[in-house]
Amino acid sequence: MPSPTEIRLRRAEKRLEIRFDDGAVFSLPAEYLRVESPSAEVQGHGPGQKKLVSGRRHVGILQVEPVGHYAVRLIFDDLHDTGIYTWDYLHQLGREQAERWPAYEAALAARGLRRDP
């Protein structure tokens, strides 16, 4: 499992930059992290229960809190703060962003939802 060597919150850009010890570097938008939150509120309590989160285009991250030596908790300015982002999950989000983001936008469009509040 890759571990971060640097985590930097870019509040003004609404991004979380992460460097991993395997050489991977990701700049993850707050909106992407929010709609892909690992919390039960977003993921549900079992397979196939993931909820589609809309209206978060302007969400920002207020704080990044360490959780042991394996994760961080992100506190968003829409008051969502229950997801624990493990190093493995953050690395996965970075690797899969090019596939996940268009799928998210397509799912919004299919349901007549928008990224704007």
The Cβ of residue 91 has, within 10 Å, a number of other Cβ atoms equal to: 19
Higher-confidence position of 49 and 17 = 17
**What are 33's two structure tokens?**
């992290």
Candidates 21, 43, 20, 31; CA nearest to 90 is 20
- pLDDT digits over 6-36, tens only? 999 999 999 999 999 999 999 999 999 999 9
- Give CATH for domain 4-110: 3.30.2020.30
- pLDDT digits over 62-98, tens only? 999 999 999 999 999 999 999 999 999 999 999 999 9
CA angle 22, 18, 99 (to 5 degrees): 85
Beta strands in 13-116 (DSSP E): 15-20, 25-29, 61-67, 71-76, 84-86
